[in-house]
Amino acid sequence: MQVLQVQLEVGPDPAEVGRARRWARSRLAGSGIGEDEPLAETLILLISELVTNAVVHTGCPAVLRMLFGEPGVRVEVADTSSRGPARRQAAGDDTGGRGLELVDGLADRWGWQREGAGKRIWCEVDRADKPENCRATWEPRVYL
């Protein structure tokens, strides 16, 4: 099975989150996922949360990757900070602290791993029309 991978370098500036969302929307459309599909909306929210975490909490540049294959789409954000992700407990009026809870609630799977001196945080969202017994094999073969 072929997996299509695209990536974007993201600077350590919160304004980069909007650029990452715009870039991701265009790549989703190019892969045949319409911007009004629930899958696209979910992926854009996940990308926004993961990129925000990378640039706000680490202050480091990051690389956003999207991998398109079966059974769906995998999103990865790699940065050069060795500090792992930490869930925060947001109070009712807090404007932050819910990102990883959103990722946990929206993604079919998510996790993180050390990568060199930094880390990679990833999540996967399955397409709704996938067979129930389909398993993902995320081994990218095509690089752009």
- Look at residue 134 and tell me whether its pLDDT is greater than 70: no
Cα 44 from Cα 116, distance rounded (Å)? 27
Number of domains in the chain: 1
pLDDT tens-digit readout, 90-111: 666 655 656 788 899 999 999 9
Q: Please report, to the nearest 10 degrees, the dihedral formed by the alpha carbons of residues 140, 142, 143, 144 taken in order.
A: -140
Are the beta carbons of 75 and 20 closer than 8 angstroms?
Answer: no
Q: What is the CATH number of the domain that holds 52?
A: 3.30.565.10
Residues 6 or more apart whose Cβ sits within 8 Å of residue 56: 14
What pLDDT digit, counting tens, does each position of 22-67 carry?
999 999 999 989 888 999 999 999 999 999 999 988 888 999 999 9
pLDDT of residue 61: 94
- What is the domain range of residue 106? 4-143
Work out the pLDDT band at 137, boundaries 50, 70, 90.
very low
For residue 103, give the 3-state DSSP assignment. Answer: helix
Amino acid at 97: G
Q: Which of 78, 101, 77 is nearest to 88 (CA)?
A: 101
In contact, 130 and 64? CB cutoff 8 Å:
no
The neighbouring-strand residues paired with 8 are: 64
Instruction: Output DSSP code: residue 144.
Output: -
Say which residue, 78 or 92, is predicted with more confidence: 78
Task: Write down the pLDDT at residue 70.
Answer: 85
Average per-residue pLDDT for the chain: 84
Rg (CA), the chain: 15
